[in-house]
């Protein structure tokens, strides 16, 4: 069942006919598929069904029995934390259709890459409120484009409030897994993310040890800094290739592959409680796209006393290993539950997914 508490009808993030940020969502644990053990983290909400990083996407994820919702965190010009996949927003908002912001299109170097578009740090929150979200993958998810223009860009505070006032199918408070995006970059322009993030969590009453929060980053230094600032859990994200940007700019030669070694994982365990592996690190693909046998990554992380979270699991064929695809058409739906069962059988403790309903079903069947 759900309970609606729309106490802020004038909320500028809202839109007529859509839930406000203060809506309470309670799922009846007797009717939902709730008795699962591996943690299901809704990647940018239920982003396989709604434009990502919108309150509608998060609300749907909660109704689908996700344990945790995941917001990516960036900053505005006036240092308000908002929720977007990247600080460049042309692919996730209708900013290009706003002629009043045409002169803000620019090119920047973000983590060593040249990126052209519109950037959150060049807008105040009030200006971002005039934009609306659009589907980031319209060719793969055409059904989601029907929701283009309906939802505003939420602040982190609004997502935290939604989680704090919601209960999952297990009856627990819904967790939140904020990811700090490009923390070194934001620090370099005078908009550091860490203190603001901790302040937002504190205001939401989510900074105690045991709070249903886990902060993520692909960088290492900001997680080490956060370890001195908060008692909530931290997760070091590890990609299949490349290196943390903060290590690169510091001249540190370590790569993600180095962090994935037994010694690297022991180092991570000195400041984080979990490691978030790109799924290919745990079980690689063959040249033909077929899923191979697991590496030692999960066992090595567990030996270092780290929880293992995998990313990112999606239902479209283009994201699936060969044996779980339904056809050669990239956007058609394959067997996500089958892929997830392979990773759960390998010992993965939780995962990020765009399709939390299918994630819950896979866990329940494993």
Residues with active-site annotation: 43, 85
Residues 199-233 as b/e (b if ≥16 CB within 10 A, e otherwise) read: ebbeebebbeeebbbbbbbbbbbbbbbbbebbebb
d(CA 51, CA 354): 11
């Amino acid at each position: 069942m759900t309970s609606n508490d729309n106490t802020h009808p004038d909320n500028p993030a809202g839109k007529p006919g859509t839930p406000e940020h203060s809506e309470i969502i309670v799922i009846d644990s007797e009717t939902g598929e709730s008795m699962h053990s591996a943690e299901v983290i809704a990647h940018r909400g239920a982003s396989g069904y709604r434009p990502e990083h919108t309150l509608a996407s998060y609300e749907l994820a909660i109704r689908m029995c996700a344990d945790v919702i995941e917001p990516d965190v960036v900053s505005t010009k006036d240092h308000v934390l908002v929720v977007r996949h990247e600080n460049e927003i042309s692919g996730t908002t209708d900013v290009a259709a706003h002629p009043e912001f045409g002169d803000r299109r620019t090119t920047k170097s973000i983590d060593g890459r040249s990126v052209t578009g519109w950037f959150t740090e060049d807008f105040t929150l009030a200006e971002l409120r005039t934009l609306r979200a659009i589907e980031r993958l319209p060719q793969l998810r055409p059904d989601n484009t029907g929701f283009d223009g309906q939802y505003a860009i939420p602040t982190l505070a609004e997502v935290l409030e939604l989680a704090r006032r919601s209960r999952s199918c297990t009856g627990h408070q819904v967790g939140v897994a904020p990811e700090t995006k490009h923390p070194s970059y934001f620090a370099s322009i005078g908009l550091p993310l860490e203190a603001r993030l901790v302040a937002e969590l504190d205001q939401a009453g989510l900074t105690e040890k045991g709070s249903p929060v886990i902060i993520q980053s692909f960088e290492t230094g900001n997680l080490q800094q956060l370890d001195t600032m908060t008692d909530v859990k931290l997760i070091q994200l590890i990609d299949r290739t490349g290196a943390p940007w903060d290590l690169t700019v510091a001249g540190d030669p370590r790569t993600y592959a180095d962090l994935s070694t037994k010694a690297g994982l022991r180092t991570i365990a000195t400041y984080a409680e979990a490691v978030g592996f790109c799924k290919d690190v745990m079980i690689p693909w063959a040249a033909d796209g077929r899923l191979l046998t697991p590496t030692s990554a999960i066992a090595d992380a567990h030996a270092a006393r780290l929880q293992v979270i995998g990313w990112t699991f999606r239902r479209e064929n283009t994201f699936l290993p060969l044996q779980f695809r339904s056809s050669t058409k990239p956007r058609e739906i394959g067997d996500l539950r089958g892929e997830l069962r392979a990773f759960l059988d390998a010992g993965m403790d939780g995962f990020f997914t765009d399709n939390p309903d299918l994630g819950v079903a896979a866990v329940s069947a494993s």
